Amino acid sequence: MYDNLKTALGKEIRKHGLSGQNITVKCKVLSVKEAIGKPEHDDYPLIKGREVMVEAVFKGAKGQAFTDDFENADFPVDSLLQMTLNSNRKRSVFISGLNAVFSHLRLCDKSIHCRDSEPKECADNLSGIIEQWNNILLVGHQPRLLELVASQHNTRAIDLDRDNIGSTFSGISIEPPEMTHDAMEWCDLILATGSTVVNGTIANFLDLDKPVIFYGVTIAATARILNLNRYCHCGH
């Protein structure tokens, strides 16, 4: 799957004459305020310190990615094609860079996270999109999405954060990743965080016989390349 992303990126680099130019992708880790502003709630993973937002900038265009591991980097755009994507750290740099390049070329949109009151607005807007399904699996603990889904549907939630597992949010007990297969068999719809493309679990949710909607900014370019369903109502 990552080879497919590299192939698509390489094609666009050649098509638009970006190879060999003195162009760099600059990655930096955003502060909480830079990444999400001042939302109404303080239970988001970014605020709790469980994750960080990496931002790549390419010719003024920005691409972001959630990750639990990161590095600051500054390198020629061609170097993205040579990366060995064997860790969350490397994948976060690659995915944020991919998002930035595709945003610059206007091949994807909403590659910058929503801010302030927008996460709540994003969750509220989801209601009409998922109303036809009964049993919904939420992959990745996004508090406002869980609130909305749990208030209207039979819901299960899976998360990688061991501090969340076993805890109850919005009446739903967060289950460990070992329960993913069982929960996937149970549900009618999977609502999965786009950061699965960074943590390497996205393969679990591709080519399934049931609908999957990936949410968030991290999946921006990947969704375009792989033709995945994506939800990101308030991204920029």
User: Which of the residue ranges 36-40, 180-184, 189-193, 219-223 would you say has the lowest mean pLDDT?
Assistant: 36-40
Cβ contacts of 87 within 8 Å, gap of 6 or more: 69
- Model-level pTM? 0.88
Query: Considering only CA atoms, which of 113, 112, 92 is closest in space to residue 104?
Result: 112
Name beta bridge partners: 56.
27, 63
pLDDT in tens, 156-199: 999 988 888 999 989 999 999 999 999 999 999 999 999 999 99
Q: CA 80, 85, 179, 161: dihedral to nearest 10 degrees?
A: -80
CATH code, 118-231:
3.40.50.11590
pLDDT in tens, 77-93: 999 999 999 999 999 99
- Structural domain boundaries of the chain? 2-104, 118-231
